Amino acid sequence: MSGAALEVRGLGKLFHHTLPRYRTMVGRLRRWADGGPSGLPVWALKDVSFEVARGECLGVMGPNGSGKSTLLALIAGILEPTEGAIRARGRVNTLLNLGAGLQQELSVRDNVEIFGILTGLSRRRALELTPRILDFAGVEPLAEVRMAELSSGQAARVAFSTAMHSDLDLLLVDETLSVGDSQFQAKCEGEFQRLRREGRTLIVVSHDEPALRAVATRILRLESGRVAGEPERIAAEAVSRG
């Protein structure tokens, strides 16, 4: 085995999409009695292999339904592979859905604590870091208001800032670059550069090719669940411009 931060070998994921009518008690009994299919089989990923070196930022692109988010969920351990193997070294952290884990009825300060613990911080550490996280997100004056009072961009900043302060070796980011204003996007890119300089590894999924090219050292393209060609290497100067 190499010393890569992440190795993915022959990865495949088969989903069985269940029909809505089978999701009730009578529906399940009917399916059982008819001996009907367990669901529509769809390979979201098939035979995907690649490696990511420590300190690298791998960008993942592809059209809708190409398997990008499934790939991140598999690496994060949220989904289980149908075939193949994933070997990640160190602590894996995720920023897959900026809204998940945020509680609209609780205060922004409480949400930093909740999101911090979900991203692997101890409660004590999350509380210690809260002022810094709020400051970084630019929402310090709003710390005590309900999360629901924040705009979607501000809420995204809270989640992103908290994740950036968590302990991690490998960060998986899904579509964060398309959230928030240009100032926030620039902040994201700056943070990704910092993480790389610190030797952390990133995998970033985005539809925004220019933004991805500004942060990624290589770009992997997925099409219909398969890797399309060799990952494209991005020139170092193009990355540092970001």
Partner 1 sequence: MSVSSAGNRWDLFWMLTRTEFRLRDQGTLAGFLWTLLHPLFIFSILYALFTRWMAPLVPNYAACLLIGIVQWNFFSTATTAGMTSLRRKAGLIASFSFPRGYVVSSSIAAVLLSHLLEWAVLLAALLVLGVRPGWSWLLLPALIAVEVALALGIASVLSVLAVDVRDLDHVWGLLLYGFFFLTPVFYTAEVVGEGARRLIAVNPLAVVIDATRAAVIGGAFRASPSIWLVAAGAGLFCAASVGLFDRMSRGISERL
Residue 107 or 185 with smaller CB distance to partner 1? 107
H or E element, residue 126: helix 123-137
How many CB atoms within 10 Å of residue 196? 18
Question: Which DSSP string do the residues of 201-215 spell out, in sequence order?
Answer: EEEEE-S-HHHHHHH
The CB-of-147 to partner 1 minimum distance in angstroms stands at: 12
Residue type at 18 in one-letter notation: T
Closer to partner 1 by CB, 15 or 43: give it: 15
User: 180 in the Ramachandran plot: left (φ > 0), alpha (ψ -120 to 50) or beta?
Assistant: left
**Least distance to partner 1, CB of residue 176, Å:** 12
Interaction site with partner 1 (CB under 8 A): 15, 18, 23-25, 28, 73, 76-80, 91-94, 96-97, 99-101, 103, 105-106, 113-114, 117-120, 122-123, 167-168
Q: What are 91's two structure tokens?
A: 């602590």
Q: Which residue lies nearer to partner 1 by CB, 204 or 219?
A: 204
**Residue 90, φ and ψ in degrees, nearest 5:** 95, -170
- State which residue, 52 or 72, has the beta carbon closest to partner 1: 72
User: Could you tell me the smallest distance in angstroms from the CB atom of residue 55 to partner 1?
Assistant: 19
- Least distance to partner 1, CB of residue 120, Å: 4
Identity of the residue, 2 or 38, whose beta carbon is nearer to partner 1 in the bound complex: 38
Structure tokens given for 121: 């911080």
Indicate the length of the chain as a whole number: 242
CB of 141 to partner 1, least distance (A): 22
Q: How many CB atoms lie within 10 A of CB 37?
A: 12
